[in-house]
């Protein structure tokens, strides 16, 4: 693709670094912005820059947050004795969208994967154990993708948390094995949380 | 979709204003940026803002440009006696990508469309006539979509330019190269039979 403007070329390159956006799509987005008033692009870049500069990590559950404590942890209506462990923010959002769960969350930041060099030390596991020791948590729900790495992570967490007298549950396996959690439909995902069962380590 | 962060929500809304980007895709882009270093988002927003703030319109051909005169008009190697009239910048870029054309361009900014309220006054027609009067233009190529509005526009431009002694040509219309004849639409196929040309073996 040939550009008669370096400014357009650089903006196209910038959009094309985003996942799923090729240079043809990037050009369409750039030409769209050029057709609008300048203030529209200003609003767009401001919102994106403010988001990246201002975003914090919740000191309790590691969720993305506008403050030191996220909206969910700060909400007095949430059940504080139940913590749902998820791999990432998208899983948290997927569960929130089902409106089936009123407890708190803990974001691991991934799963244990020796192949990809992710050990327990790379994940937010210590802070989960600390929460379990400090706060009055009675139940920890494992809402982790049912993959080999996910199962390993659940096993590891159970060994850490069960001695603290916490009940470990796993979301019901209505979710297809080998499937990514974020692609499950809302009904299946919601029912999986409601129909959670005690975890039995094999 | 529920967000635990207003900053993320605003950034998702911003991306979702772009054409072809829904809120799920927008969220994917935002979470991608959050995973990267802050400087990456800075580079992204700078490139987009610089593009929108810095872009100019070429005073000759109305192409997007970094300067008052675009790269094509400023290029001494381009043939200056031929001007190719296109509806928009994307058409210009599509023709440039073929590497088959070495003349100049003129961007109309659309086609005459009474239904959509676009008259000759809304398009860059006066400046084309001025170019034709002032510069040594011998040929104007109409590279305009063969629609009813396009044909009307070509007819209107021809009436304006022909009295100035300029040769008017239209890009060849017919069956696409490499395309199956049976899939060509009736109008195209019918017209390409009527407008058949002598075969020249190469």
Interface probe with A: pick from B3, B4, B6, most Cβ of A within 10 Å: B4
Architecture of domain A6-54: Orthogonal Bundle (1.10)
Question: What's the pTM?
Answer: 0.77
Helix (H) / strand (E) containing A73:
helix A71-74
Q: Produce one character per residue of A130-154: b if its CB has 16 or more CB atoms within 10 Å, e if not.
A: ebbeeeebebbbbbbbbbebbbbbb
Tens of pLDDT, residue by residue over A54-73, are 999 999 999 999 989 999 99
Contacts A6 to B, Cβ<8 Å? 66
Q: Is the dihedral of CA A76, A78, A82, A86 positive or negative?
A: negative
**Per-residue tokens: A129:** 């154990």
- The predicted pLDDT at position A3 comes to 80
CB neighbourhood size of A68 (10 A): 12
B8/A52 CB distance under 8 A? no
CA angle B24, B27, B30 (to 5 degrees): 155
Q: Where are the alpha helices (DSSP H) in chain B?
A: 6-16, 23-35, 38-54, 71-74, 89-98, 126-134, 148-161, 186-194
* Tokens linked to A21: 């956006």
Reported CATH class of domain B57-170: alpha beta
Residue given tokens 């239904």 in the structure block:
B115
Q: In angstroms, what CA-CA distances link A136 with A81, A86, A124, A148, B19?
A: 6, 19, 19, 30, 48
pLDDT (0 to 100) of residue B97: 85
Same fold flag, B6-54 and B57-170: no
A73: nearest CA partner in chain B: B4
Q: Does domain A64-198 have CATH number 3.40.50.300?
A: no
H or E, element range at A64 = strand A64-65
Break chain A into its structural domains and give their ranges.
6-54, 64-198
Can you tell me the distance from the alpha carbon of A37 to that of A42, in angstroms, rounded to the nearest whole number? 9
Interface membership of A51 toward B (CB under 8 Å): yes
pLDDT one-digit tens code per residue, A159-199: 999 999 999 998 876 666 666 777 777 777 777 777 777 77
Tell me the residues of chain B between 63 and 122 that have a Cβ less than 8 Å away from chain A.
Answer: 63-66, 70-72, 89-90, 92-93, 96-97
Helix (H/G/I), strand (E/B), else coil: A84: strand
The torsion angles phi and psi of B21, rounded to 5 degrees, stand at -115, 110
Whole-angstrom distance, CA of residue B92 vs CA of residue B66: 16
The arithmetic mean of pLDDT across residues B50-77, rounded, is 93
**Which pLDDT score is estimated for A177?**
63
Most confident by average pLDDT, B104-108, B135-139, B143-147: B104-108
Task: In whole angstroms, give the CA distance from residue A15 to residue B41.
Answer: 11
Indicate the pLDDT class of residue A75, thresholds 50, 70 and 90: very high
Q: Which of A5, A28, A4, A3 shows the shortest CA–CA distance to A15?
A: A28
* C-alpha torsion sign, points B32, B38, B42, B43: negative
pLDDT of residue A180: 77
């Amino acid at each position: 693709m040939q550009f008669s403007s370096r400014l357009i070329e650089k903006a196209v390159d910038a959009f094309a670094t985003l996942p799923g956006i090729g240079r043809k799509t990037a050009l369409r987005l750039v030409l769209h912005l050029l057709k609008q008033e300048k203030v529209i692009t200003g609003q767009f870049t401001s919102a994106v820059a403010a988001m990246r500069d201002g975003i914090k990590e919740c000191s309790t559950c590691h969720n993305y947050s506008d403050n030191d404590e996220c909206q969910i942890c700060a909400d007095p209506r949430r059940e504080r004795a139940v913590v749902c462990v998820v791999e990432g923010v998208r899983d948290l959002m997927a569960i929130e969208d089902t409106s089936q769960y009123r407890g708190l969350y803990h974001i691991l930041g991934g799963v244990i994967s020796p192949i990809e060099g992710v050990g327990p030390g790379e994940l937010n596991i210590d802070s989960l154990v600390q929460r379990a020791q400090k706060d009055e948590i009675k139940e920890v729900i494992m809402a982790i993708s049912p993959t080999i790495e996910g199962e390993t992570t659940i096993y590891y967490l159970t060994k850490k948390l069960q001695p603290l007298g916490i009940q470990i549950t796993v979301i019901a396996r209505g979710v297809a094995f080998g499937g990514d959690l974020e692609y499950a439909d809302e009904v299946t995902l919601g029912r999986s949380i409601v129909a959670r069962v005690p975890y039995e380590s094999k």
